């Protein structure tokens, strides 16, 4: 299954209803005045964010989103009602752009936040609106006005607090499955994870935070190699990066660490400057020389690095890692609140 995180839709708002031309006809009133009601406005196309949606899969499924047209006005001064809106439910974290201009129309980051992307046309006025001292029986009435039609480019950015990154097979999904209720697929081959998985972890301060298990990144990811860029985008909004490195692999940990850092640095400054927590995984079958070399490297090149040693399978070191993430997030929030 391919994860769909961008799509296009054509939002077509409803046309306004037509204004009516009508004259009052009542017993004993031979020449009644005009009583044609106005047409109702056309329905809008609305995008609404909801936490029950996690992908744009079914949003993409129907390309045209058409709202109902306004109901026509009728005689006896009856105005038509507004056409029904077409509401498109999208995941929280959806960015909406005008397809032609690229201009950002909305960035839906909260539950139930909504935006009218195409406004329904105004209803036409009925002939009752056109009476004047000189025109007591106007036949003039308007047609409904056309609704807006806008082509949109929609993109989903997952909102997670911590992005778990690493080369394929580093143990990212295994970690998220042991510390949260998320149950992603785990397997001993690369690119097991094709779409980001979110896991919610209960924090120490009565809060909860969200971990995102990302598909593995490989060399050239920043240029679109592998699952590349489309997922790197998702970590743009995370507050912390949790960089996992397989400590059981015989290839140099230092080299593997650097390889991934290069991808992040080349992708965007924004991402590469995020605070990073490093964890050596699979410590139950550690390749000791590599680990020693890596620790040496950290000591000399990155003395301030936050480093953990964990085994998700043996559940070693995961509690203190999770606690640290919580504290680090809490500190970041306090800084931002000041």
- Is 284 near ligand GTP (CB under 6 A)? yes
Contacting ligand GTP (CB under 6 A), which of 21, 49, 67, 186? 186
Contacts of 201 (CB under 8 A, 6+ apart): 179, 180, 208, 209, 210, 211, 322, 325, 326
> Of 70, 65, 71, which is closest to residue 46 (Cα–Cα)?
65
Cα distances (Å, whole numbers) of residue 50 to 54, 56, 88, 92, 222: 9, 12, 10, 6, 30
Cα distances (Å, whole numbers) of residue 36 to 81, 123, 242: 14, 13, 67
Specify the residue, 273 or 285, whose C-beta has the smaller distance to ligand GTP: 285
Contacting ligand GTP (CB under 6 A), which of 59, 156, 170, 179? 170
CB of 319 to ligand GTP, least distance (A): 14
The DSSP output letter for 111 is: T
Out of ligand GTP, Mg ion, none, what residue 166 binds, judged by CB under 5 to 8 A for its kind, is ligand GTP
- Is 192 near ligand GTP (CB under 6 A)? yes
Contacting ligand GTP (CB under 6 A), which of 188, 250, 304, 334? 188
- Is 317 near ligand GTP (CB under 6 A)? no
Contacting ligand GTP (CB under 6 A), which of 312, 322, 325, 328? 312
**Token pair listed for 319:** 């509690």
Specify the residue, 123 or 184, whose C-beta has the smaller distance to Mg ion: 184
Out of Mg ion, ligand GTP, none, what residue 94 binds, judged by CB under 5 to 8 A for its kind, is none
Specify the residue, 104 or 314, whose C-beta has the smaller distance to ligand GTP: 314
132 dihedral zone (left: phi>0; alpha: psi -120 to 50; beta): beta
Contacts of 249 (CB under 8 A, 6+ apart): 256, 287, 290
**Token pair listed for 165:** 């990154």
Residues in contact with Mg ion by CB under 5 A are: 172-173, 192-193
Out of Mg ion, ligand GTP, none, what residue 316 binds, judged by CB under 5 to 8 A for its kind, is none
SS3 call for 116: strand
SS3 call for 161: coil
Contacting ligand GTP (CB under 6 A), which of 22, 55, 174, 290? 174
Q: Mask 200-219, x = binds ligand GTP (CB under 6 A)?
A: ---------------xx---
CB of 178 to ligand GTP, least distance (A): 8
Out of ligand GTP, Mg ion, none, what residue 40 binds, judged by CB under 5 to 8 A for its kind, is none
Select the residue whose beta carbon is closest to ligand GTP and give its number. 216
What are the backbone dihedrals phi and psi of residue 253, each rounded to the nearest 5 degrees, phi first? -65, -35
- Is 278 near ligand GTP (CB under 6 A)? no
Q: How far is CA 237 from the centre of its chain?
A: 11
DSSP letter for each residue of 200-214: EEE-TTS-EEEEEEP
Residues that bind ligand GTP (CB under 6 A): 166, 168-174, 186-188, 190-193, 215-216, 281-282, 284-285, 311-313
């Amino acid at each position: 299954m391919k994860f769909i995180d961008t799509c296009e839709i054509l939002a077509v708002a409803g046309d306004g209803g037509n204004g009516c031309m009508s004259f009052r006809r009542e017993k004993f009133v031979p020449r009644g005045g005009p009583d044609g009601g106005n047409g109702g406005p056309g329905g809008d196309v609305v995008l609404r964010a909801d936490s029950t949606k996690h992908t744009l899969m079914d949003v993409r499924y129907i390309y045209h989103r058409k709202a109902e047209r306004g109901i026509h006005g009728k005689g006896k001064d009856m105005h038509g009602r507004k056409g029904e809106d077409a509401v498109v439910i999208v995941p929280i974290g959806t960015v909406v752009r005008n397809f032609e201009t690229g201009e950002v129309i909305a960035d839906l980051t909260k539950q139930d936040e909504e935006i009218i992307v195409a406004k329904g046309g105004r209803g036409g006025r009925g002939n009752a609106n056109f009476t004047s001292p000189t025109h007591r029986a106007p036949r003039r009435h308007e047609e409904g006005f056309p609704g807006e039609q806008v082509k949109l480019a929609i993109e989903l950015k997952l909102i997670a607090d911590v992005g778990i990154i690493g080369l394929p097979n580093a143990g990212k999904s295994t970690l998220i499955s042991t510390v949260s209720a998320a149950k992603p697929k785990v397997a001993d081959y690369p690119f097991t994870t094709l779409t980001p998985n979110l896991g919610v972890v209960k924090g120490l301060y009565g809060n909860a935070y969200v971990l995102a298990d990302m598909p593995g990144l490989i060399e050239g990811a920043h240029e679109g190699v592998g699952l590349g860029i489309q997922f790197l985008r998702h970590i743009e909004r995370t507050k912390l990066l949790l960089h996992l490195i397989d400590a059981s692999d015989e290839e140099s940990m230092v080299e593997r660490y650097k390889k991934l850092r290069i991808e992040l640095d080349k992708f965007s400054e924004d991402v590469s400057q995020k605070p990073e927590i490093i964890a050596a995984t699979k410590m139950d079958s550690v390749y000791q020389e590599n680990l020693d070399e890596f620790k040496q490297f950290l000591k000399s090149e990155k003395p301030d690095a936050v480093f953990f040693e964990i085994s998700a399978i043996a559940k070693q070191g995961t509690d203190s890692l999770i606690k640290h993430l919580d504290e680090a997030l809490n500190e970041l929030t306090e800084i931002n609140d000041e």
